[in-house]
Protein backbone atom coordinates (compact mmCIF):
# COMPACT_ATOMS: atom_id res chain seq x y z
CA UNK A 1 0.00 0.00 0.00
CA UNK A 2 3.03 2.29 0.34
CA UNK A 3 3.09 2.91 -3.41
CA UNK A 4 -0.65 3.71 -3.52
CA UNK A 5 -0.30 6.08 -0.56
CA UNK A 6 2.73 7.71 -2.22
CA UNK A 7 0.87 8.20 -5.52
CA UNK A 8 -2.14 9.78 -3.79
CA UNK A 9 0.05 12.10 -1.69
CA UNK A 10 1.99 13.14 -4.79
CA UNK A 11 -1.33 13.81 -6.54
CA UNK A 12 -2.39 16.05 -3.68
CA UNK A 13 0.85 18.08 -3.96
CA UNK A 14 0.45 18.38 -7.75
CA UNK A 15 -3.18 19.54 -7.48
CA UNK A 16 -2.38 22.16 -4.82
CA UNK A 17 -0.03 23.78 -7.36
CA UNK A 18 -2.26 23.11 -10.40
CA UNK A 19 -5.32 24.67 -8.74
CA UNK A 20 -3.53 27.67 -7.23
CA UNK A 21 -4.39 30.72 -9.36
CA UNK A 22 -1.22 32.45 -8.10
CA UNK A 23 1.06 29.58 -9.11
CA UNK A 24 3.42 30.16 -12.04
CA UNK A 25 4.53 26.46 -12.03
CA UNK A 26 8.21 27.63 -11.89
CA UNK A 27 8.94 25.96 -15.24
CA UNK A 28 12.59 25.10 -15.91
CA UNK A 29 14.15 23.27 -18.86
CA UNK A 30 16.00 20.01 -18.38
CA UNK A 31 19.08 19.08 -20.42
CA UNK A 32 16.89 17.52 -23.14
CA UNK A 33 14.78 20.72 -23.23
CA UNK A 34 11.75 18.98 -21.66
CA UNK A 35 9.94 21.07 -19.04
CA UNK A 36 10.28 20.55 -15.28
CA UNK A 37 7.92 22.28 -12.85
CA UNK A 38 7.76 22.80 -9.10
CA UNK A 39 4.98 20.16 -9.17
CA UNK A 40 7.42 17.53 -10.53
CA UNK A 41 9.82 18.32 -7.68
CA UNK A 42 7.19 18.36 -4.89
CA UNK A 43 5.65 15.11 -6.15
CA UNK A 44 9.09 13.48 -6.25
CA UNK A 45 9.78 14.53 -2.63
CA UNK A 46 6.40 13.18 -1.45
CA UNK A 47 6.95 9.80 -3.13
CA UNK A 48 10.55 9.31 -2.04
CA UNK A 49 9.66 10.18 1.58
CA UNK A 50 7.33 7.14 1.61
CA UNK A 51 9.19 4.67 -0.63
CA UNK A 52 12.49 5.23 1.19
CA UNK A 53 10.90 3.32 4.10
CA UNK A 54 10.56 0.20 1.93
CA UNK A 55 13.42 -2.29 1.38
CA UNK A 56 13.80 -1.34 -2.30
CA UNK A 57 15.78 1.44 -4.02
CA UNK A 58 13.99 4.12 -6.07
CA UNK A 59 14.76 5.07 -9.67
CA UNK A 60 12.83 8.30 -10.29
CA UNK A 61 12.80 10.57 -13.31
CA UNK A 62 13.46 13.53 -11.02
CA UNK A 63 16.03 11.79 -8.80
CA UNK A 64 19.77 11.37 -9.11
CA UNK A 65 20.37 8.39 -11.41
CA UNK A 66 23.01 6.03 -10.11
CA UNK A 67 25.34 4.37 -12.58
CA UNK A 68 24.46 1.02 -14.14
CA UNK A 69 27.27 -0.72 -12.22
CA UNK A 70 25.23 0.06 -9.05
CA UNK A 71 21.75 -0.42 -10.54
CA UNK A 72 22.43 -3.78 -12.12
CA UNK A 73 22.82 -5.23 -8.61
CA UNK A 74 19.18 -4.29 -7.90
CA UNK A 75 16.94 -7.28 -8.59
CA UNK A 76 13.93 -5.38 -7.18
CA UNK A 77 13.40 -1.62 -7.41
CA UNK A 78 10.77 1.11 -7.67
CA UNK A 79 10.59 2.98 -11.00
CA UNK A 80 8.80 6.30 -10.60
CA UNK A 81 7.62 9.22 -12.70
CA UNK A 82 6.34 11.76 -10.15
CA UNK A 83 4.52 13.76 -12.85
CA UNK A 84 4.07 12.06 -16.22
CA UNK A 85 2.73 14.48 -18.80
CA UNK A 86 4.37 17.72 -17.64
CA UNK A 87 3.41 19.30 -21.00
CA UNK A 88 -0.24 18.38 -20.36
CA UNK A 89 0.08 19.83 -16.83
CA UNK A 90 1.40 23.11 -18.24
CA UNK A 91 -1.41 23.17 -20.84
CA UNK A 92 -3.87 22.56 -17.97
CA UNK A 93 -5.74 19.81 -19.80
CA UNK A 94 -5.76 17.42 -16.83
CA UNK A 95 -4.10 14.54 -18.73
CA UNK A 96 -1.17 13.95 -16.41
CA UNK A 97 -0.44 11.15 -13.97
CA UNK A 98 1.70 9.89 -11.12
CA UNK A 99 3.39 6.58 -12.09
CA UNK A 100 4.91 4.13 -9.58
CA UNK A 101 6.03 0.59 -10.48
CA UNK A 102 7.72 -2.22 -8.61
CA UNK A 103 10.08 -4.07 -10.95
CA UNK A 104 11.54 -7.51 -10.23
CA UNK A 105 14.24 -8.97 -12.48
CA UNK A 106 13.42 -6.46 -15.25
CA UNK A 107 9.65 -7.24 -15.15
CA UNK A 108 7.05 -4.78 -13.72
CA UNK A 109 5.01 -6.82 -11.20
CA UNK A 110 3.04 -4.07 -9.46
CA UNK A 111 1.95 -0.71 -10.85
CA UNK A 112 0.05 2.34 -9.64
CA UNK A 113 -1.12 5.21 -11.84
CA UNK A 114 -3.05 8.11 -10.34
CA UNK A 115 -4.86 10.75 -12.42
CA UNK A 116 -5.18 13.61 -9.88
CA UNK A 117 -7.64 15.82 -11.80
CA UNK A 118 -10.07 12.93 -12.34
CA UNK A 119 -9.39 11.34 -8.92
CA UNK A 120 -8.91 8.00 -10.70
CA UNK A 121 -6.50 5.37 -9.42
CA UNK A 122 -5.40 2.43 -11.56
CA UNK A 123 -3.40 -0.38 -9.98
CA UNK A 124 -2.32 -3.84 -11.07
CA UNK A 125 -0.67 -6.71 -9.24
CA UNK A 126 0.83 -9.74 -10.94
CA UNK A 127 -1.42 -12.71 -10.24
CA UNK A 128 -4.11 -10.62 -8.52
CA UNK A 129 -5.53 -8.55 -11.38
CA UNK A 130 -5.86 -4.91 -12.42
CA UNK A 131 -8.31 -2.42 -10.96
CA UNK A 132 -9.65 1.11 -11.29
CA UNK A 133 -10.87 3.05 -8.26
CA UNK A 134 -12.81 6.26 -8.97
CA UNK A 135 -13.29 9.28 -6.72
CA UNK A 136 -10.28 8.62 -4.49
CA UNK A 137 -8.07 11.37 -3.05
CA UNK A 138 -6.41 9.60 -0.13
CA UNK A 139 -6.37 6.49 2.02
CA UNK A 140 -8.59 6.85 5.09
CA UNK A 141 -6.29 6.17 8.03
CA UNK A 142 -3.16 4.04 8.12
CA UNK A 143 -4.77 0.64 8.37
CA UNK A 144 -6.47 0.45 4.97
CA UNK A 145 -5.96 -3.00 3.51
CA UNK A 146 -5.52 -3.71 -0.18
CA UNK A 147 -8.62 -5.94 -0.02
CA UNK A 148 -10.75 -2.93 1.00
CA UNK A 149 -9.45 -0.89 -1.92
CA UNK A 150 -10.06 -3.78 -4.33
CA UNK A 151 -13.64 -4.07 -3.00
CA UNK A 152 -14.24 -0.40 -3.93
CA UNK A 153 -12.70 -0.80 -7.40
CA UNK A 154 -13.73 -2.14 -10.79
CA UNK A 155 -11.79 -5.11 -12.18
CA UNK A 156 -10.06 -4.46 -15.50
CA UNK A 157 -10.60 -4.88 -18.34
CA UNK A 158 -14.16 -3.57 -18.16
CA UNK A 159 -16.61 -5.23 -20.51
CA UNK A 160 -16.45 -2.50 -23.14
CA UNK A 161 -18.31 -3.43 -26.31
CA UNK A 162 -17.33 -1.70 -29.55
CA UNK A 163 -17.78 -3.00 -33.07
CA UNK A 164 -14.69 -1.33 -34.56
CA UNK A 165 -11.00 -1.04 -33.69
CA UNK A 166 -10.08 1.77 -31.29
CA UNK A 167 -6.48 2.99 -31.37
CA UNK A 168 -5.15 5.33 -28.71
CA UNK A 169 -2.29 7.65 -29.65
CA UNK A 170 -0.26 10.40 -28.05
CA UNK A 171 -1.67 13.88 -27.92
CA UNK A 172 1.80 15.45 -28.10
CA UNK A 173 3.94 12.90 -29.99
CA UNK A 174 2.25 11.40 -33.08
CA UNK A 175 5.19 10.30 -35.25
CA UNK A 176 5.02 9.52 -39.01
CA UNK A 177 5.78 5.86 -38.14
CA UNK A 178 2.76 5.74 -35.81
CA UNK A 179 0.59 7.30 -38.52
CA UNK A 180 1.73 4.67 -41.03
CA UNK A 181 1.01 1.85 -38.52
CA UNK A 182 -2.51 3.27 -38.02
CA UNK A 183 -2.97 3.45 -41.82
CA UNK A 184 -2.10 -0.28 -42.02
CA UNK A 185 -4.66 -1.06 -39.31
CA UNK A 186 -7.28 0.83 -41.34
CA UNK A 187 -6.53 -1.37 -44.36
CA UNK A 188 -6.92 -4.50 -42.21
CA UNK A 189 -9.91 -3.53 -40.09
CA UNK A 190 -11.79 -1.00 -42.21
CA UNK A 191 -13.17 1.22 -39.49
CA UNK A 192 -10.58 2.52 -37.02
CA UNK A 193 -11.35 5.13 -34.38
CA UNK A 194 -8.41 7.18 -33.13
CA UNK A 195 -8.50 8.64 -29.62
CA UNK A 196 -5.82 10.95 -28.27
CA UNK A 197 -4.62 11.21 -24.73
CA UNK A 198 -1.64 12.41 -22.76
CA UNK A 199 0.77 10.58 -20.42
CA UNK A 200 0.41 6.97 -19.25
CA UNK A 201 -3.40 7.25 -19.40
CA UNK A 202 -2.98 5.73 -22.89
CA UNK A 203 -1.76 2.41 -21.49
CA UNK A 204 -4.59 2.47 -18.92
CA UNK A 205 -7.17 2.90 -21.71
CA UNK A 206 -6.01 -0.39 -23.28
CA UNK A 207 -5.89 -2.15 -19.88
CA UNK A 208 -9.40 -0.84 -19.24
CA UNK A 209 -10.74 -2.12 -22.57
CA UNK A 210 -11.65 1.36 -23.82
CA UNK A 211 -9.03 1.06 -26.57
CA UNK A 212 -7.72 -2.01 -28.39
CA UNK A 213 -4.16 -0.99 -29.15
CA UNK A 214 -1.65 1.76 -28.36
CA UNK A 215 1.31 1.98 -30.77
CA UNK A 216 4.21 4.17 -29.66
CA UNK A 217 6.89 4.70 -32.30
CA UNK A 218 8.56 7.63 -30.58
CA UNK A 219 10.96 7.93 -27.63
CA UNK A 220 9.86 7.13 -24.07
CA UNK A 221 11.78 6.38 -20.90
CA UNK A 222 11.35 3.44 -18.53
CA UNK A 223 9.51 5.58 -15.94
CA UNK A 224 6.94 6.57 -18.60
CA UNK A 225 5.82 2.95 -19.07
CA UNK A 226 6.76 0.73 -16.09
CA UNK A 227 3.61 1.38 -14.00
CA UNK A 228 1.27 1.14 -16.98
CA UNK A 229 3.05 -2.00 -18.13
CA UNK A 230 2.40 -3.68 -14.75
CA UNK A 231 -1.28 -2.70 -14.91
CA UNK A 232 -1.57 -3.89 -18.53
CA UNK A 233 0.03 -7.25 -17.65
CA UNK A 234 -2.33 -7.71 -14.68
CA UNK A 235 -5.28 -7.00 -17.03
CA UNK A 236 -4.18 -9.66 -19.54
CA UNK A 237 -2.43 -7.26 -21.92
CA UNK A 238 1.24 -6.87 -22.81
CA UNK A 239 3.63 -4.12 -23.88
CA UNK A 240 5.59 -5.62 -26.76
CA UNK A 241 8.72 -4.20 -28.34
CA UNK A 242 7.65 -3.09 -31.82
CA UNK A 243 8.26 -5.81 -34.39
CA UNK A 244 9.17 -8.41 -31.74
CA UNK A 245 7.51 -10.97 -29.49
CA UNK A 246 9.42 -9.77 -26.41
CA UNK A 247 7.96 -7.27 -23.93
CA UNK A 248 9.76 -4.15 -22.72
CA UNK A 249 12.43 -4.78 -20.07
CA UNK A 250 13.40 -2.49 -17.19
CA UNK A 251 16.43 -1.26 -15.26
CA UNK A 252 18.50 -1.52 -18.45
CA UNK A 253 21.84 0.22 -18.83
CA UNK A 254 20.14 2.67 -21.22
CA UNK A 255 16.84 3.78 -19.66
CA UNK A 256 15.37 4.71 -23.06
CA UNK A 257 12.62 2.32 -24.21
CA UNK A 258 12.51 0.85 -27.70
CA UNK A 259 9.33 1.55 -29.68
CA UNK A 260 6.42 -0.53 -28.43
CA UNK A 261 2.82 -1.66 -28.92
CA UNK A 262 0.31 -2.20 -26.09
CA UNK A 263 -2.29 -4.85 -26.99
CA UNK A 264 -3.93 -8.02 -25.65
CA UNK A 265 -1.45 -10.79 -24.82
CA UNK A 266 -0.64 -12.76 -27.94
CA UNK A 267 -1.40 -16.50 -28.01
CA UNK A 268 1.60 -18.57 -29.06
Enumerate residues 6+ apart whose C-beta is below 8 A from 24: none
* 70 vs 14: CA distance, rounded Å: 31
Question: How many residues make up the chain in this entry?
Answer: 268
- Any binding-site annotation on 83? yes
Is 86 flagged in the annotation as binding? yes
Annotated ligand binding at 140? The verdict is: no
What is the C-alpha to C-alpha distance for residues 89 and 86, in angstroms, rounded to an integer?
A: 5
85 assigned binding-site residue? yes
What residues contact residue 102 under an 8 Å CB cut-off, 6+ apart? 3, 56, 76, 77, 78, 108, 109, 110, 111, 230
Q: Please check if 158 is assigned to a binding site.
A: no
Whether the Cβ atoms of residue 167 and residue 195 lie closer than 8 Å to each other: yes
Q: Flag whether 20 is marked binding.
A: no
Distance of alpha carbon 91 from alpha carbon 86, whole angstroms: 9
Helices (H), the chain: 2-18, 38-51, 68-71, 86-91, 146-151, 176-189, 201-208, 222-234
Cα separation values, 43 from 2, 38, 90, 136, 223, Å? 15, 9, 15, 17, 14
Q: Is 84 annotated as ligand-binding?
A: yes
Annotated binding site for substrate: 61, 83-86, 224
Question: Which positions make up the binding site?
Answer: 61, 81, 83-86, 224
Binding-site annotation, residues for Mg(2+): 61, 81, 83-84, 224
Amino acid sequence: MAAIDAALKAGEKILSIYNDPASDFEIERKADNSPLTIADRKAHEAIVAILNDTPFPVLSEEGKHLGYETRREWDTLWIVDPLDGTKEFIKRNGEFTVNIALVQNSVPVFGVIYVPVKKELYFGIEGAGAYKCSGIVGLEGDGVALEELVAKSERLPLKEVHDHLIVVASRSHLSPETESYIADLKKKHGSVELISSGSSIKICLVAEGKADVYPRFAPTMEWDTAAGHAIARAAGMEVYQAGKEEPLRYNKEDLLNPWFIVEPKREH
